[in-house]
DNA sequence: AAACTTGACTTTGCATACAAAATGAACTTC
DNA sequence: GAAGTTCATTTTGTATGCAAAGTCAAGTTT
């Protein structure tokens, strides 16, 4: 498989990533059924690596093996969505609190740089660029907890809620509002007051969350 | 889903459970390498279902695909163990806080019953019985959050830290001390003061955690 | 007309086979 | 003698085939 597999990763890994992408951009909607054979054809491989990818994604909770046949893209009721966002919300608050306690100078400067990029992206109204910058900033906050498990947890939730958050940033005002909210949050984290930082993150996330629920 | 489908579960699911069991009881030590072919022989199946089980367990973080060949039982350095327990610690605190806010009468009575069982088990010094009762109580607290994602998170961490916590309850005094600690925690949860409940859980878990680190 | 049955078709799970990649050891070379 | 090189062996990844289990619909019976 020298020609087919251009990258270094296995077919299974490639398919896993591709499906995640499809779900993230809405190509595969929640509830959509995934057929092993179809996917095998689409990616030009046999069913074996497809099955592997589907298994991994199922274990991650991105896909679910439904009551009927086949595996489907996980879909959530409003109640489940609310619970998922609540969970993410609390995890993010936890991250902010820990980050506030443990902020190194390096981490601080990186956060400031990331925030600058957010502001710049918001100013131009470039939605995609803002989404990336926003992700980067949040990931930096997770990392600043200096706890790999909590970081992994937060990353995981962000990935799972991604498809639902994506719709949120529609107008340039949305971007600017988000960036401004970040600014306050960072100031609180920098103040090294973990309790206030947690609350700050909760406020930031609550605003996001309410908008998402309104849209879904 | 695994238990409900007893008798008719797939080979992969059966192998997954068997391996989890082996890890839990220490048959498979952290760092032990798992050979697909060996496992296939041992379970009398081909490599295909074995690979499926290993993939699932890897996705769960129970196994890790190391730098060298093969997948291994996850092993943690002291630093990683400390971080993992810190994470669990925070998650448990979060659960206690939410449970305090949302406790139904039914949940409260179930918690009290579970605690009574803990106390009874501790009194007899029956280690296995206490372990089970202790698990049950913690799971009830998770459920009392009324958030399935946070509950799942907490259950997951408890499972991952299980092998390391198991050693902790050596003497009858250990059991009684743990049960007493639970008592205080529950009183705080019942007081419906979520902030104090979080702190209570933190105290309870810190005590556990320090003992674990001393042993590993 | 509703419900049960039967049979074709689809889907899934597993086995076997093969190819590619990595590891380790023997061997060569400087 | 140490370092590099090549070859054999082990291990992993993927393909294909087959059998069992499930689904759906048409046909039959009450």
At the top level of CATH, the class of B11-73 is mainly alpha
In this predicted structure, what is the pLDDT of residue A89? 80
CB proximity B56 to A under 8 Å: yes
Q: Could you confirm whether domain A78-215 is CATH 1.20.120.530?
A: yes
B200 touches strand C (CB under 7 A): no
Q: Which nucleotide is nearest to B48 (CA to C1')?
A: C14
**What is the residue whose two structure tokens read 């946070």?**
B150
> Highest mean pLDDT: which of A99-108, B60-69, B141-150?
B141-150
Q: Residues at the strand D interface (CB under 7 A)?
A: A 1, 5, 10-12, 40, 44-49, 52, 68-69; B 8, 35-37, 47-48, 51, 69-71
Per-residue pLDDT, averaged over A74-103, amounts to 82
Instruction: Check CB contact under 8 Å for A83 and B148.
Output: yes
Residues 32-61 on chain A lying near strand C, CB distance under 7 A = 35-37, 47-48, 51
Per-residue pLDDT, averaged over A120-125, amounts to 80
Counting residues of chain B whose pLDDT is more than 70, the rounded percentage is: 74
Per-residue pLDDT, averaged over A164-171, amounts to 65
Instruction: Check CB contact under 8 Å for B86 and A147.
Output: yes
| Mean predicted lDDT score pLDDT of chain B | 78
In chain A, where are the structural domains located? 11-73, 78-215
pLDDT digits (tens, 9 = 90+) for A138-154: 898 899 899 999 999 99
In this predicted structure, what is the pLDDT of residue B50? 94
């Amino acid at each position: 498989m020298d020609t087919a597999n251009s990258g270094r990763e296995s077919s299974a890994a490639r398919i896993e990533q591709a499906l995640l992408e499809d779900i993230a951009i809405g190509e595969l909607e929640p509830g959509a059924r995934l057929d092993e054979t179809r996917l095998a054809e689409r990616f030009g491989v046999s069913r074996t690596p497809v099955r592997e990818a589907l298994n991994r994604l199922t274990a991650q909770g991105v896909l679910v093996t439904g009551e009927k046949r086949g595996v489907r893209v996980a879909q959530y009721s409003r109640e489940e969505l609310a619970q998922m966002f609540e969970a993410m919300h609390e995890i993010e608050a936890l991250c902010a609190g820990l980050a506030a306690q443990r902020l190194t100078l390096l981490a601080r400067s990186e956060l400031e740089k990331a925030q600058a990029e957010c502001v710049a992206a918001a100013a131009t109204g470039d939605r995609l660029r803002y989404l990336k910058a926003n992700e980067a900033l949040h990931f930096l906050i997770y990392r600043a907890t200096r706890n790999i498990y909590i970081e992994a947890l937060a990353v995981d939730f962000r990935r799972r809620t991604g498809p639902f958050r994506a719709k949120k940033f529609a107008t340039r005002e949305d971007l600017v509002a988000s960036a401004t909210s970040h600014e306050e949050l960072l100031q609180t984290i920098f103040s090294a007051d973990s309790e206030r930082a947690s609350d700050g993150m909760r406020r930031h996330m609550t605003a996001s969350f309410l908008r998402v629920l309104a849209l879904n």
